[in-house]
Structure 1
Amino acid sequence: MTDLVILNGRVMTFAGPDAEALAITGGVITAVGSNAEIRDLAGSARVIDAQGNTVLPGFIDSHVHLFQGAAELEYLNLHGVTGFDAIAAKVRLYSASRQDDVLLFANCFEYHAFGDAPTTRQDLDAVVSDRPFFVMASDGHTGWANTKALELAGLLHGMAVDEGSEIVMAADGTASGELREAAAIGPVYAYTPLGGREAAGSVTGADPIPIPTAKERALDKDILAKGLKYCAAHGITGLHNMDGNFYQLELLSEMEKEGTLLSRIEIPMHLKHTDPLDRLEEAAQMRAQYTSDMLWSSRIKMFIDGVIDNGTAFMLQPYPETDSCSAPLFTVNHFKQACIRADAMGLQISVHAIGDAGVRSTLDGFEAARIANGIRDSRHRIEHIEVINPADIPRLAELGVVASLQPLHSPRAGFFTPYEPGAILHEFQIDQSCPWQTLRSAGAKVVFSTDWPVVPLNVMQTIQGAVCGLDPDAPQMGAGQYQSLRASLASYTCENAWVEFNEHRKGKLQTGMMADIVVMDHDLEAMPPEELGTASAAVTICGGSITYEA
């Protein structure tokens, strides 16, 4: 007996011709066709009327930080808030509502929120001086702490941190307030309302210390459940997490057994540049232990560099008006050996690489793995690729490397302020940045995602950013890189199913595929491109079960 039918849709199958309707039985798509054909199969099944709107494979967000994103739904978001008065007004109102927090935490802070000069602890003291206060940049690679937060974390007079991280010091020998990268941010993050557990998989790549109590585990599961409901409300049926540890896997596995896991999730093992290669055995343990259709682990995540905005992205040319190219987090040999060993274990590798030297180093590591182990269908990934040297563009297709891109990261998309030539990038680097269509045209496989909570989880905002940008009045930066609507949607559905080695089971609407589906509230192809971001999910279905209904 058919369980569920969807009628009157503009069904983008990504498996041949479009259709009007489909039927679902036992969590699987059992028929796709015309309204008349599917209506005959309906019987007593529940009928969803798509009302002429687009029906798609469920969105797969292939680069998210679920635990952090879910936790930050509770925190103050300061994106676009600049100037002392505006910041102070929002923060003080928020502070009054969070009196029990040891550390007042806000996110999505602008790098120059107070003006051209770098933000200092004194700036934040002027906003909040009577309690520890910490703000995180959208990119998650830089944070700023007021004096009380620095004292709380034991950082006011500096502290030794891992290479690649920095506690920026002022001329008087005390911390300026700016903290760059994980090892510098971690001591403050430990005082968030969740005790930093939401970031352990990213900051340390290991499980939280001390071991969470039963009460803390219950709280964390509640936060994750809220995040998964939020994902379902955006039409998402699959997630590729970009930070990982056993703790997250344990919580999500419990949720799967309890029936509250609303999305399929892959969790990686996070290998830090400070880790010995033997730690890769944890990845093998994760892969062996978690193998369900809803929760699995078969990938490692590494960082080769930082971000452009704080000067930690690894560049081939020095940053403007400096003699610094930054440096890779891994040494050349350590990174290549990590790639070789992980590849030999049959693991997929995803590497955060933003600068052009970081991208080149990552490609060199993947090439070393190919030479050592032979060619295989690895689908290794480079995450972000914000600047790439033209000589390296063809190497992605040659090495079978996937370009995992986040359109809203690019100023071209209109969510962040466009780069000023000579500020943090040279003009020629701006011309080479975020080359979505250039990579696609060169034969690289391109997949799209958000990197939530760096940018909003709203899939259709990202789609609009890829197609035409969010702000038609914003300065255009490489408009020739914009994507077609169909290509953008494919990069969020069937291509993301492919990159997780599941193209034979999901990402297309055809008979025998998993019933992971989103019914939109608009006919996307009939919408003006500049309005795509206003479209949203009307119904989300994962495994044949409705996980969201507007």
Structure 2
Amino acid sequence: MHRTATSPVLRLLLGGAALLAIGAGPAPKGPTADLILTNARVYTVEEGQPWAEAVAIKDGKILAVGSAKQIAARKGAATKVVDMGGKFVMPAFGDAHAHPIFGGMSHARCSLHSGNTIEDYQRLIKACVDKTPGTGTIFGSGWNQTLFPPKGIPNKSFLDAVSKDRPLIFESDGHTLWVNSKALELAKITRDTPDPKNGTIDRDEKGEPIGALEESAMALVEPLIPAPTPADLEGAITYTARFFNSLGITSWHDASVEWDKNGSKALDAYQAAKARGTLTVHTAMDWHWNNDRGMDQLGDILKLSAKAKEIGLTANGVKFFIDGVIPQQTAAMLEPYEGTDVKGATQIAPDTLAQAVAALDAKGMQSHFHAIGDAGVRQALDAVEKVRGQNAAHDTRPMMSHMNVIDPADQVRFGKLGVAAIFQPLWACDEAYMRLTIERIGPKRSGYIYPANSIRKGGGLVAYGADWSVASANPLEGIEVALTRVAPGGTSAPLIATEAVTLEQALRSYTLNVAYVNHLEKLTGSIVAGKSADIIVLDKDLFRIPVQQIHQTKVLLTLFQGRAVFGKLDSVAR
């Protein structure tokens, strides 16, 4: 069924007016607030009544929203009242696609994120080697593929120049590892080593490995990477929560949680962080579907999901990796890459995917697809369509991430099938990685890059997630690009200007729509009575500044469940 503005799903998202008529009539009588934010420009993200002047909070929840006069009636003897001096207040952001543990660990280990040249990487890696005595592996992440033209494939020679005596292994985006000669030697990877299924050992013209391992080939050096300790994993979650809070984010969707036959160390780390009080975000999680296993893994996943529920965490999603990435030509395309006969390939058979999605749907589990090429997108949509034909009643809310290229015939299917489109808006602009993508797919298909507005106009729900730490997690940068299709502060031509969205649409995609895909829209995502008091204060009013200044806007205060987790209440008072 085609999803329109009057569909049940959108009525659920837009129905805040039914919960509270903001600013309509006298203030209700009732309990007094612990905290009142008043004299503010409050954008609620509730379409029925998007603006207010004040918010009352009690016991971590929003008690009332309305005019300053209305909310003043909620003041009691112990109420703290903060005059906002007209500052801009809105719901805290969510992130529909993040890797909190990977990201936290990547910054805790040997981080290359601050480097802008190969020489920078060598300097950063040398510093890691120097401060880590012994002969063990140096592992890190954060290198940029565009620094390795023409195909984004790095060479071991740059790492060998730093050290030939100990293995050096560095991850980029979860699809490629950059390794030195010592790592290849210890992993016994030679010219005679065959490419594994769904993986590539990049080689020179003589067949010798050059130091890049793609997709499943990364597993060949996995035994050399030091396993994180439980303290490392918990620390990564805590680091990410604090960092995200500083950006105004109080909910995330962990897009791929690792597990094995013995359970999930990641889930244990989440449980520890929650018990310690450092998990200052609402969390939804996806279990990583192992493409090398069959349906037998479903039982293990269901047990893990049940365990998560017992400890108060939401882990009802399963992440399917359908294909790879475009620069290395591992993303699955309907037609060959420009100037080649290579189409890439999907990593899971269509029938297997459809069977898995159907089985998960029957158990009330959410499917989440990593699909980048237009063929990968179609395969995922086809799997959902088969399930919809069997049972359209289950509210499992399948979601698909990345979708660098979507064939026009498939753009309308998101709304028809109820598949949420999870875009990384910061990528939808003229930047180095995108130029590499356009070179690979050619001019015609470059007209179908990140078609966020087309998906939305077709009735599809769009939510935003940064894919951090692959890209910046700052929602304010993403919002600007979503509106301009130009890099933050940039002056280049927009990347398909017709695919830009409005500010209201972008804010919804970073708040209420994230809550919806996380099955948490009754808890968070907008400022309305009864929801968690997840609220941010910005130093600029997004509706009253030039759009090119949005990325410069700063978060002054982040409240999670009514408690300041970034900034101080008194510092934002007039």
AA at the equivalent of 2:340: T
Aligned to 2:374: 356
Are the counterparts in 1 of residues 524 and 534 from structure 2 also a CA contact under 8 Å? yes
Aligned to 2:35: 4
Deviations 1:397-419 (A, max 9, x none): 11111111111233x1x554442
How high is the TM-score relative to the length of structure 1? 0.89
SS at match of 1:267: strand
Identity %: 30
Aligned to 1:225: 238
Aligned to 2:455: 439
Distance 1:521 1:502, change over 3 A: same
Are the counterparts in 2 of residues 179 and 185 from structure 1 also a CA contact under 8 Å? yes
> Is it true that 1:509 corresponds to 2:527 in the alignment?
yes
Cα drift, residue 354 of structure 1: 0.7
Aligned to 2:167: 132
> Is it true that 1:537 corresponds to 2:555 in the alignment?
yes
CA distance in 1, matches of 2:208, 2:436: 31
Are the counterparts in 2 of residues 418 and 477 from structure 1 also a CA contact under 8 Å? no
Cα-Cα RMSD: 2.3
> Is it true that 1:315 corresponds to 2:333 in the alignment?
yes
Are the counterparts in 2 of residues 540 and 549 from structure 1 also a CA contact under 8 Å? yes
Aligned to 2:130: 96
Structure 1, unmatched stretches of 5+, are 198-215
> Is it true that 1:34 corresponds to 2:67 in the alignment?
yes
Q: How does 1:133-532 map to 2 (within 5 A)?
A: 133-137=168-172, 139-156=173-190, 159=193, 162-181=196-215, 183-192=216-225, 195-197=226-228, 216-244=229-257, 245=259, 246-291=264-309, 295-410=313-428, 412=429, 414=430, 416-419=432-435, 423-468=439-484, 469=486, 470-532=488-550
Cα drift, residue 296 of structure 1: 1.2
Aligned to 1:209: none
AA at the equivalent of 1:45: T
Deviations 1:208-229 (A, max 9, x none): xxxxxxxx21232123212211
CA distance in 1, matches of 2:105, 2:242: 13
Give the count of matched residue pairs.
Answer: 525
AA at the equivalent of 1:419: R
CA distance in 2, matches of 1:300, 1:448: 18
Distance 1:52 1:130, change over 3 A: farther
Structure 2, unmatched stretches of 5+, are 1-31, 569-574
Cα drift, residue 521 of structure 1: 2.4
SS at match of 2:291: coil
CA distance in 1, matches of 2:52, 2:246: 24
Distance 1:116 1:360, change over 3 A: closer
CA distance in 1, matches of 2:59, 2:155: 57
SS at match of 1:298: strand
Are the counterparts in 2 of residues 418 and 475 from structure 1 also a CA contact under 8 Å? no
CA distance in 2, matches of 1:415, 1:196: 35
Distance 1:398 1:148, change over 3 A: same
Cα drift, residue 368 of structure 1: 1.1
Aligned to 2:54: 21
CA distance in 1, matches of 2:80, 2:132: 44
Are the counterparts in 2 of residues 158 and 169 from structure 1 also a CA contact under 8 Å? no
Cα drift, residue 46 of structure 1: 2.9
CA distance in 2, matches of 1:295, 1:309: 36
- Higher mean displacement: 89-98 or 419-428: 89-98
- Higher mean displacement: 216-225 or 452-461: 216-225
CA distance in 2, matches of 1:353, 1:524: 32
Distance 1:147 1:408, change over 3 A: same
Aligned to 2:21: none
Are the counterparts in 1 of residues 326 and 437 from structure 2 also a CA contact under 8 Å? no
Cα drift, residue 477 of structure 1: 1.8
Aligned to 1:77: 112
SS at match of 1:440: helix
Deviations 1:413-468 (A, max 9, x none): x5544426873112111111111111111111111110111101112111112122
- Higher mean displacement: 103-112 or 531-540: 103-112
Distance 1:224 1:99, change over 3 A: farther
Aligned to 2:79: 45
Distance 1:494 1:112, change over 3 A: closer
AA at the equivalent of 1:263: V
Distance 1:125 1:49, change over 3 A: farther
AA at the equivalent of 1:27: G
Distance 1:85 1:454, change over 3 A: closer
Are the counterparts in 1 of residues 56 and 74 from structure 2 also a CA contact under 8 Å? yes
Cα drift, residue 110 of structure 1: 2.5
Cα drift, residue 108 of structure 1: 2.9
Cα drift, residue 63 of structure 1: 0.4
Deviations 1:372-413 (A, max 9, x none): 334433321111111111111111111111111111233x1x
Cα drift, residue 473 of structure 1: 1.9
SS at match of 2:279: coil
Are the counterparts in 1 of residues 237 and 279 from structure 2 also a CA contact under 8 Å? no
